[in-house]
Structure 1
Amino acid sequence: MRRLVLLPLIAAFAIWVRPAAAHPHVWVTSQSELVYGADGAITGIRHTWKFDDMFSAYAVQDIQNKDKGVYTREELAPLAQINVDSLKEFDFFTFAKAGKTKEQFLEPVDYFLEYRDSALILHFTLPFKQPVKAKELALEIYDPSYFVGFDLAATDPIKLVGAPASCKAAVQRPDSKSTQAPISEQSFLDGNVNYGAMFSNKIMVDCP
């Protein structure tokens, strides 16, 4: 089962790798939904994360399945549990601010893995510790160590579910110059491991 641990534990190791290896080793394509309550407050975030084919093949190689190349939700359940438990240490690679206030999350719910088109897809919901009712919300998805690379889906990277009609979402993808910026050895020696902030995917929600 130790070989089945997904990206969070790998990301932890990335802090200690040599500078030459400081680039994404796992790629995730992300789609998210902000879920609103009847009072207009945001209650949580639903994530759908699709892993790259190579990592997906590695992750499922020890799973016992009935049909070759097919993995049911039940067969993937232990792997989903390991992944979600491990992600907690890394704040689920999800960072939210309402104004200047950093928002906190509860334990994830409704999580499961599916295997489709040779890729693992992780679904989970992060409830906010307190529902967020603010005019502006900034959401970032990234790995501070930049061992895991996150790309927002080309289509529908963010949806507002049950939001007031006035609410709008805008997406800011990493600047192309930032994604090509080298990581210096001195930066590692200085102990700065928050490189992922340069490559973060940002979602801004405005509810005037």
Structure 2
Amino acid sequence: MGLAFGLATTAASAHPHVWVTVKSDIAFTPDGKVSAVIHDWVFDEMYSSFATQGLAPAGQLVGKEQFAPLAKENAGSLAEIGYFTTLKIGGKSMDFDMVTDYWMQERPDHLVEFHVKLPLKTPTPITKFLTLRVADPEYFIDFEFDDKEPVKLISAPSGCTANVAKPKPLEASDKQKLSESFFTNLAPGTNFGFKMASAAIVACP
């Protein structure tokens, strides 16, 4: 029932199958280097209902303790695919270190939240700009930044700003093409999900 491999058990007629709302914090060291990306992902109602089945008595929310085994499984399996996260500073891709800070819980609105901190292997200052994308290349999962609080900068140098650039909306005719056969026939490496992904852009003086 993990995020990376268990999502195939959620049935749907066409991509995407799961929707995730993303809030991301970008943390800086005291000397102004980017040190980590901290994600909070909130899953859609259907997946949340699936993920919480049988984990708590009726009427009770599933807490971090009950979710601990699944959170650990997800942290491990997502590490193999980079947590669906692409971080570039000055056009150069950043590598993440081992993850130790992660948890899952059911919120009062019954949606499941997954929290994970991705430390950079090498803290790096922003040169020119930073770009952050969260995307499933196969578009099985649709990641969208939160409308109100998409990206927050923690201890950033003075003058740094963050904005989110959204992709051009699909035309109605294009949406009709997004059938399962369309995705089945995609050539390897097409990375369709990246074309649909928003990008957080951070600039520092």
Indicate the TM-score class for this superposition, using the shorter chain for normalisation: 0.7 to 0.9
Instruction: Specify whether residues 100 and 121 from structure 1 end up closer, same or farther in structure 2 by C-alpha distance, changes over 3 A only.
Output: same
Q: Closer, same or farther in 2 for the Cα pair 1:187/1:99, shift >3 Å?
A: farther
Distance 1:167 1:22, change over 3 A: same
Read off the aligned partner of 2:28 and give its amino acid letter: Y
Is the contact between residue 48 and residue 110 of structure 2 (CA under 8 Å) also seen in structure 1?
Answer: yes
Alpha-carbon deviation of 1:100? 2.4
Distance in 2 (alpha carbons) for counterparts of 1:187 and 1:60: 29
**SS of the counterpart of 2:31?**
coil
SS of 2:170's equivalent in the other structure is: helix
- Residue 121 of structure 2 is matched in structure 1 by 129
Provide the rounded CA distance (Å) in 2 between the counterparts of 1:154 and 1:207: 22
Contact 2:35 2:122 in 1 (8 A): yes
Indicate conservation of the 8 Å contact 1:35/1:163, yes or no: yes
TM-score by length of 2: 0.87
State yes or no: 1:167 paired with 2:167: no
**Deviations along 1:127-180, whole A, 9 cap, x unmatched?**
001001123111111100000001111111000000011111111122212795
Aligned mates of 2:184, 2:43 — CA distance in 1: 28
Give the unaligned 5+ runs of structure 1. Answer: 15-19
Match of residue 194 from structure 2: 197
Aligned length in residues: 197
2:35 paired residue number:
43
Task: Note if contact 1:97-1:137 (Cα within 8 Å) is conserved in structure 2.
Answer: yes
Percent of counterpart pairs with the same letter?
34
Aligned to 2:26: 34
Query: Does the Cα contact within 8 Å between 1:77 and 1:112 map onto a contact in 2?
Result: yes
CA distance in structure 2 between the partners assigned to 1:188 and 1:26 by the alignment: 20
1:66 Cα deviation from its structure 2 partner? 4.8
Cα distance change on mapping 1:185 and 1:123 into 2, 3 Å: closer
Alignment of structure 1 residues 82-121 onto 2, 5 Å? 82-116=73-107, 117-121=109-113
Cα distance between partner residues in 1 of 2:182 and 2:57: 48
SS at match of 1:114: strand
In structure 2, distance between residues paired with 1:90 and 1:152: 20
Alpha-carbon distance between aligned partners in 2 of 1:51 and 1:188, rounded to the nearest angstrom: 27
Change (3 A) 1:70 1:160: same
Deviation, structure 1 residue 67: 5.9
